[in-house]
Amino acid sequence: MTASGLLGEIADVGRDARRGGYSRHAFDSPEHDLRTWFVERAQQLGLDVETDRNGNLWAWWGAPGPDALVTGSHLDSVPGGGAFDGPLGVVSALAAVEALQVKGFRPGRPFAVVVFAEEEGGRFGVPCLGSRLLTGTIDAGRARGLRDPDGVTFAEAAAKAGLDVERAGADPERLGLIGQFLELHVEQGRGLIDLGSPVAVGNTVIAHGRWRFSFAGQGNHAGATLLADRVDPMLPAAETVLAVRRQARTRPDARATVGRLVPTPGGTNVIASTVDLWLDARVPGTSTPELVEEITRAARQAAEEEGCTLAVTRESYSDDVVFDEALRRSLGEWLGSPPELPTGAGHDAAILAGFVPCGMLYVRNPTGISHAPEEFAEVDDVEAGARALADVLERLAK
């Protein structure tokens, strides 16, 4: 059971013919197949698998208990995502457990491999939904009401998948079992390309959030409506896309993106009645909300000029996270002082870091591309990552 061999086993699950890459979303058919596959593989290793009240999977090596060493990641993807983001941390955890079992190691403390649900927010819009629910950093009622693009609520989809959704929400007993959480992940930028190391230790996660901008105008006929009679929400939406880039440029190291934009009704010969766009904004430090405020001002002005209305909704926000310093020091020491890297990507480890000591390992990505089919890691690097994970898990679980 090598990490790359395990990745090969799921290489055909959830391929997206239209977008390229993979679309594996919370409670859809590919994600269900991946969960089933995970349970089988974990059981083969003698682990006891349970689903928590928020849809996260826990595979226990030995009896559950306090001060547990927990490792893992997620199996869902963004729409048209790569093969590594999420699954790499899960397969590396399984491979590490087997490698430790083969050498006769038995953990000296409770030990679990976890698969978090809806890490990407690819279906219900809020990233790290499984870990946010577990930690109570999202209100359970709000989570139940989140809707996918087809209007299906999280509560409906989760219930259909067999979850008792009334019990979803903060789970302090389970959270209290976690002594440390360690997540291995493919590196998602160009950070490791020129550093000569297959593995890095994570130090910080940039503050990040998602905001929905809803412009409303008057749907009408594209041919029969004179320009002077139009109230077309596509115009302020386009102005906002440009304002996002312009305002983000004014702040060193800021990232701000509109990757999702939906005109309704969306006909070629129809002036849209509404346009929704989603802003993903991340600025190191505390100024992300300020950036969003500047963008909102520009959006509001553009909306007024066209006679449109604008509603802005914050869908999620997380502050800057610094991973546990003692754990980082240990990881660095044990792994021969690999590079330390910040990241602009969000992770379940960053949500949990507000509650328990957390650490991350990144595996080199020679394309520097992520959330896209070109995301990649060489087999040698994948195996180096799994070995590094096994190595530190052995030391931590002694």
DSSP single-letter state for residue 229: G
Q: What would the x/- binding string for a second copy be over residues 79 to 108, using CB under 8 A? A: xxx---------------------------
Rounded least distance, CB 245 to a second copy, Å: 6
Q: What are the Cα distances from residue 308, in Å, to 58, 211, 244, 315, 320?
A: 48, 18, 19, 22, 35
Please identify, using beta-carbon distances, which residue of 21 and 110 lies nearer to a second copy: 21
Q: What are the Cα distances from residue 1, in Å, to 33, 59, 74, 91?
A: 19, 16, 19, 9
Q: Please, which of residues 237-256 interact with a second copy by CB under 8 A?
A: 237-239, 241-242, 245, 248-249, 253-255
Please identify, using beta-carbon distances, which residue of 123 and 387 lies nearer to a second copy: 123
Please identify, using beta-carbon distances, which residue of 127 and 179 lies nearer to a second copy: 127
Tell me whether strands 199-205 and 340-343 are parallel, antiparallel or unpaired.
parallel
Rounded least distance, CB 389 to a second copy, Å: 21
DSSP single-letter state for residue 286: S
Q: Read off the tokens for 19.
A: 């977008």
Please identify, using beta-carbon distances, which residue of 306 and 394 lies nearer to a second copy: 306
CA distance 213 to 358: 33
Give the count of beta carbons closer than 10 Å to the beta carbon of residue 229.
Answer: 10
Query: Cis before residue 265, ω within 30 degrees of 0?
Result: yes
Q: Please, which of residues 43-82 interact with a second copy by CB under 8 A?
A: 78-81
Could you tell me which of 201, 176, 168 has the C-alpha nearest to residue 187? 201
Please identify, using beta-carbon distances, which residue of 180 and 214 lies nearer to a second copy: 214
Amino acid identity for residue 372 in this structure? A
Amino acid identity for residue 370 in this structure? S
Please identify, using beta-carbon distances, which residue of 137 and 225 lies nearer to a second copy: 225
Rounded least distance, CB 268 to a second copy, Å: 4
Tell me whether strands 68-74 and 178-186 are parallel, antiparallel or unpaired.
parallel
Q: Please, which of residues 203-232 interact with a second copy by CB under 8 A?
A: 206, 208, 210, 218-227, 229, 232
**Residues with Cβ < 8 Å from 159, sequence gap 6 or more?**
165
Q: Please, which of residues 159-198 interact with a second copy by CB under 8 A?
A: 187-191
Q: Please, which of residues 253-272 interact with a second copy by CB under 8 A?
A: 253-255, 257-261, 263-272
Q: Please, which of residues 133-162 interact with a second copy by CB under 8 A?
A: 151
DSSP states along 184-204? EEE--SSTTTTSS-SEEEEEE
Rounded least distance, CB 149 to a second copy, Å: 9
Rounded least distance, CB 266 to a second copy, Å: 5
Q: Please, which of residues 325-354 interact with a second copy by CB under 8 A?
A: 343-346
Stretch that binds a second copy, among 30-38, 117-125, 156-164, 390-398 (CB under 8 A): 117-125
SS3 271: strand
SS3 52: coil
Q: Please, which of residues 266-305 interact with a second copy by CB under 8 A?
A: 266-273, 278, 280, 282
Q: Read off the tokens for 175.
A: 């959270």
Please identify, using beta-carbon distances, which residue of 347 and 387 lies nearer to a second copy: 347
16 binds a second copy (CB under 8 A): yes
